[in-house]
Structure 1
Amino acid sequence: MRIHFIAIGGSAMHNLALALHHKGYVISGSDDVIFEPSKTRLESKGLLPTSFGWFPEKIDKSLDAVILGMHAKADNPELIKAQELGVKIYSYPEFLYEQSKDKTRVVIGGSHGKTTITSMILHVLNYHDIAVDYMVGAQLDGFDRMVHLTDENDFIVLEGDEYLSSPIDRRPKFHLYQPNIALLSGIAWDHINVFPTYENYVEQFQVFVDSIVKGGSITYNEEDAEVNRVVNASENPIRKLAYRTPEYQVENGQSILETPEGPMPIEIFGRHNLSNLAGAKWICQNMGVDEDDFYEAIASFKGASKRLEKIAEGKTSVAYKDFAHSPSKVMATTKAVKEQYPNKKLIACLELHTYSSFNPEFLKEYKGALDAADVAAVFYLPESVRIKKLKEVSPEQISEAFQRNDLQIFTDAEVFKNFVFGEGYDNSVLLLMSSGNYGGLDLDEVKELVQAN
C-alpha cells in the first residue's frame, strides 16, 4: 500500500509512519517544520521529506490513502488536492481503527493516567513475551516505536485520547476505536479550547462508554465520582468492572504494594500510580495474564517517559520532572512526591503553558493543586499568552486561583532560573512540572546543582 502523511512530523504521526514502513507499506509525507526526535527517526528510515512545505504534486490517484495530522489546516493544499482527486482520507484514529477492526481492541481512556496505564500493560505483556499491536503516547524502555501494527496479532492496545481527530474531523479520537475492552481512569476537565464547559467535556466520556462493543467490558476507577456516575448511567449492555487503589505503604522512600502473596517493593510511587496499577492489572487479566504473572512483571516497571521521571540525585537531594500541567495531574503528582519524601523539603515548580491554563475560568481549577509543596512556584511567559491570542493573565489572577498566600510567581525566564538556582537543596526534592521547557531552563545545569547536594 502507498500511504501519504500530511503533517508527518508530529509525535503520533511519525510513529505511525514508522510502524507502517516497518509493516512494508510505501510511505511518503510532508510537513512545514519537523523537530527532534521525529526528524532523526524519520531520516534513519529514509522517510524525512527532502524539503519542508506542502506540495500538491505529491498527491495522485496511485495513493491508497492519505493520513491527515492535527498540525495541518483545513485549507492545506495537499489535502485540497486529495479531496479533488477522491483519494481516501483518514484521520490518525480512523486509520488505526481500519488496521485493527478484525482484532480485539483494548482502549485506555481518562483525563489522566492513560499513558501510564497503557505503558504498564505493554510492559507486562512484553515481559511475558505476549505479542500485541499497540499505540501509546510515550516512548517506552524495550520498545522501538510508540506504534506497532501487524496482520497476525490478535490484540491491539490503544491509548484513547479525547482530543480531536483531525482538522476536518472534530470527533474525539477515542470515539472512533469501538473498544472490546475499555478502561476509564478519571474525568477532570481539560482541553477547554475544544470543550468550553465541564458538561460538554464529560459528555465525551459518556459517548466513549456507549461506543464499547456490545458484550464488551469497561474497567473503571470507582474512586472517581464522575467516572462512577458516567459508567453506571450507561445503558450499553457491557460488563462493568470496578477497581480502586490497592493497599500500600511507603518505607524509607520505597513503595511497598500489598499483594495476595505478601508485600512487594515496586519502582513507581504515588497514590495515583498505584490506582493506575490496579486498573492495568484488571486489563491484563482480561487479556489472559494471571494475577501472579502481572505482579512479577510490574515490579520492574519504572514509569512512562516524562511521567515522574527522576533526573538527578545527590546525597540528600533529588529532582524529578513531570509532564503534569492540568490541575488534577499537578495535585496528584505533588502529593505523590511529598508522600514519598515526607521528611524532605519539597520545592514544586509549575509552568503554565497550555491554552486551558491561561483561561481565567479554568485557572480556578488549580485551587489547592500545589498545597502539598513546602515551597511552591508558578512560572509563565506573558508572550505565550499573546501568541495564543488570549487576554492577559496577571500574577494576581494566578495567586487568587491557587489560593496559596506564599505562592511565588515568575513571568521572566531569567528571574525564574535565578529562583531555581538560588534555593538551598540540602535534604530537598525539586519537582519541575510542565509540558513546556520552563523558558529554556538548562536541565543539565539543574542536575549538577542537585547532584552536588
Structure 2
Amino acid sequence: MHIHFIAIGGSAMHNLAIALHQKGYQVAGSDDTIHDPSKSRLEKYGLLPKEFGWFPEKINANIDVVILGMHAKNDNPELLKAQELGLKIYSYPEFLYEQSKDKTRVVIGGSHGKTTITSMILHVLNYHEKEVDYMVGAQLDGFETMVHLTQENEFIVLEGDEYLSSPIDMRPKFHLYKPNIALLSGIAWDHINVFPTFENYTEQFRIFTDSMVNGGSMVYNEEDKIVKEVVESSTNHIKKYPYQTPEHFIENGITFLETAEGDLPLEIFGNHNLQNLAGAKWICQHMGIDEDDFYEAIASFKGASKRLEKIAENSSTVIFKDFAHSPSKVAATAKAVKEQYKKRDVLACLELHTYSSLNAEFLVEYKGVLDFADKAVVFYSPHAVKIKQLEEVTKEQIAQAFEREDLIIYTNPEEFKKFLFNLELENKAVVLMSSGNYGGLNFEEVKSLV
C-alpha cells in the first residue's frame, strides 16, 4: 500500500508514518516546516521530505491512501489535488480506526490525565511483556515510537483526544474509535476556540460514551461530578466501573500506596496521578493483568514526559517541568507539589500559551489556581497573542483574573529568565508549567541551577 501524509511533521503524524513504514507500507509525505524531534526521526527512517513545501505534483493515482494532518489547511494544494483525483483521504484517527477495527480497542479520554493513564497502562503491559498496539501522546521510556501497529496483536490502546480530526473533518478524534473498553478521567472546559460553551464541550464526552460498542466497559473517575453524571446518565448498553483516589500517605517526600500486600512506594505523587493510577489499574485488569502484577509494575513508573517531570534535584531543591496549562491542570499540579513538599516554599511559574489561556474572557477560569504556591509567576508573550489574532491581554486583566495580590507577571522572556536564574533556591520546590518554552527558555540551562 502506498500512503502519502499531508503534514507529515506533526508529533502524532510522524509517529504514525514511522509505524506504517515499519509495518511494510510504502510511505511518503510533505510539510512546509518540520522541527526536531520529528525531523531527525523521519530522517532516520528515510521518510524526511527532500524539500519543505506543498507539491501537488506528488499526488497521483498510484497513491492508495492520503492521511491529512491538522497542520494543513482546507485549501492545501496537495489536498485539493487528492480531492480532484478522488483519492481516499483519511484523518489520523479515521486511519487508526481502519487499522484496528478487528482488534479490542481501549480508548483513554478526558480533559486531563489521558496521556499519563495511557503511559501507565503501556508501562505495566511492557513490564509484563504483553504485546499490544498503541498510540500515546508522549515519548515513553522503553518505547521507540508513540505509535505501534501490527496485524497480530489483540488489543490496541489509544489516547482519545477531544480535539478536531482534520481540516475537513470537524469531529473530535475520540468520536471515531468506537471503543470496546474506555476510560474517562475528568472533564474541565478546554479548546474554547472549537467548543465555545462548557455545555458544548461536555456534550463531546456524552457522544464519546454513547459511541462505545454495545456491551463495552466504561471505567470512570466518580470523584469528578461531571464525568459521573455523563457516564451514569448514559443509556448506552455498557458496563460501568467507577474509580476514586486510592488510600495513600506521604513520608519523607515519598508517596506510599496502601495495598493488601503492604505499603507500596511510588515514583509519582499528587492526587491526580493517584486517580490516574486507579483508573489504569481497572483498565489493565480488563486486559488480563491482575492487581498484584499491576502493583509490581507500577512501582517503577516515573511519569509521562513533561508531566510533573523532575528535571533537577539536590538535597534542598527540586525543579519540575509540567505540561499543565488549563486551569484544572494548573491547580492540581500546584497542589500536588505543595502536598509532596510541605516543608519547602513552592514557586509556581505558569506560561499562558494556548488559545484558551490567552483569551480575555476565558482568563477568569484561572481564579485561585495558583493559591497552593507560596510564590506565583505568570509569563505570557504579547507576540503570541498577536500570532493567534486574539484581542490584546493586559497585565491588569491577568492580575484581576488570578485574584492574587502578590502575583508576579512577566511579558519579556529575558526578564523572566533573569528572575529565574537569580532566585535563591535553598529549600525550594519549583514547577515550570507550560505547553511552550517561556519565549525560548533552555531547560538544559535550568538544570544547572541545582
Q: Please state whether the residue corresponding to 1:390 is helix, strand or coil.
A: coil
Cα distance in 1 for residues equivalent to 2:445 and 2:36: 21
| Counterpart in the other structure of 2:157 | 157
* Letter of the structure 2 residue corresponding to residue 297 of structure 1: A
Cα distance in 2 for residues equivalent to 1:198 and 1:275: 23
Deviation of the 1:413 alpha carbon: 1.1
| Counterpart in the other structure of 2:35 | 35
Q: Please state whether the residue corresponding to 1:385 is helix, strand or coil.
A: helix
| Counterpart in the other structure of 2:356 | 356
Deviation of the 1:391 alpha carbon: 0.5
Q: Please state whether the residue corresponding to 1:48 is helix, strand or coil.
A: coil
| Counterpart in the other structure of 1:419 | 419
| Counterpart in the other structure of 1:210 | 210
Q: Please state whether the residue corresponding to 1:51 is helix, strand or coil.
A: coil
Q: Please state whether the residue corresponding to 1:357 is helix, strand or coil.
A: coil
Q: Please state whether the residue corresponding to 1:67 is helix, strand or coil.
A: strand
Q: How does 1:139-150 map to 2 (within 5 A)?
A: 139-150=139-150
| Counterpart in the other structure of 1:287 | 287
Q: Normalized against structure 2, the TM-score is what?
A: 0.99
Cα distance in 2 for residues equivalent to 1:417 and 1:174: 38
Deviation of the 1:442 alpha carbon: 2.5
Cα distance in 2 for residues equivalent to 1:74 and 1:32: 15
Deviation of the 1:200 alpha carbon: 0.5
Q: Does 1:11 align with 2:2?
A: no
Q: How does 1:1-400 map to 2 (within 5 A)?
A: 1-400=1-400
* Letter of the structure 2 residue corresponding to residue 393 of structure 1: V
Deviation of the 1:61 alpha carbon: 1.1
* Letter of the structure 2 residue corresponding to residue 67 of structure 1: I
Q: Please state whether the residue corresponding to 1:231 is helix, strand or coil.
A: helix
Report the count of equivalent residues: 450
Cα distance in 2 for residues equivalent to 1:221 and 1:315: 36
* Letter of the structure 1 residue corresponding to residue 354 of structure 2: T
* Letter of the structure 2 residue corresponding to residue 20 of structure 1: L
**Deviations 1:22-47 (Å, cap 9, x if unpaired)?**
00000000000000000000000100
Cα distance in 2 for residues equivalent to 1:323 and 1:113: 11
* Letter of the structure 2 residue corresponding to residue 57 of structure 1: E
Cα distance in 1 for residues equivalent to 2:145 and 2:305: 13
Q: Please state whether the residue corresponding to 1:27 is helix, strand or coil.
A: strand
Deviation of the 1:440 alpha carbon: 1.2
| Counterpart in the other structure of 1:431 | 431
Deviation of the 1:262 alpha carbon: 1.3
Q: Please state whether the residue corresponding to 2:281 is helix, strand or coil.
A: helix
Instruction: Please report the RMSD computed on the Cα atoms of aligned residues, expressed in angstroms.
Output: 0.7
**Deviations 1:93-119 (Å, cap 9, x if unpaired)?**
000000000000000000000000000
Q: Please state whether the residue corresponding to 1:249 is helix, strand or coil.
A: strand
Cα distance in 2 for residues equivalent to 1:246 and 1:239: 21
For structure 1, list consecutive stretches of 5 or more residues without a partner in the other structure: none
For structure 2, list consecutive stretches of 5 or more residues without a partner in the other structure: none
Cα distance in 1 for residues equivalent to 2:409 and 2:244: 36
Cα distance in 2 for residues equivalent to 1:81 and 1:178: 31
**Deviations 1:341-372 (Å, cap 9, x if unpaired)?**
11011111000001000112211111111011
Q: Please state whether the residue corresponding to 1:300 is helix, strand or coil.
A: coil
Deviation of the 1:49 alpha carbon: 0.3
Cα distance in 1 for residues equivalent to 2:47 and 2:222: 45
Cα distance in 1 for residues equivalent to 2:395 and 2:36: 33
Cα distance in 1 for residues equivalent to 2:216 and 2:46: 41
Q: Please state whether the residue corresponding to 2:192 is helix, strand or coil.
A: coil
* Letter of the structure 2 residue corresponding to residue 11 of structure 1: S
**Deviations 1:280-325 (Å, cap 9, x if unpaired)?**
0000001111110000000000000111111111231110100111
Deviation of the 1:429 alpha carbon: 1.0
Q: Does 1:401 align with 2:401?
A: yes
Deviation of the 1:443 alpha carbon: 2.0
Deviation of the 1:175 alpha carbon: 0.1
Deviation of the 1:441 alpha carbon: 1.7
Deviation of the 1:421 alpha carbon: 1.7
- Greater mean deviation of Cα atoms: 17-26 or 410-419: 410-419
Determine what percentage of the aligned residue pairs are the same residue.
Answer: 73
Deviation of the 1:62 alpha carbon: 1.1
Cα distance in 1 for residues equivalent to 2:441 and 2:100: 42
* Letter of the structure 1 residue corresponding to residue 202 of structure 2: V
* Letter of the structure 2 residue corresponding to residue 87 of structure 1: L
**Deviations 1:57-115 (Å, cap 9, x if unpaired)?**
11111111000000000011111111111110000000000000000000000000000
* Letter of the structure 2 residue corresponding to residue 260 of structure 1: A
* Letter of the structure 2 residue corresponding to residue 216 of structure 1: G
Deviation of the 1:383 alpha carbon: 0.8
Deviation of the 1:446 alpha carbon: 1.8
**Deviations 1:318-338 (Å, cap 9, x if unpaired)?**
101001111000001111111
Cα distance in 2 for residues equivalent to 1:130 and 1:258: 26
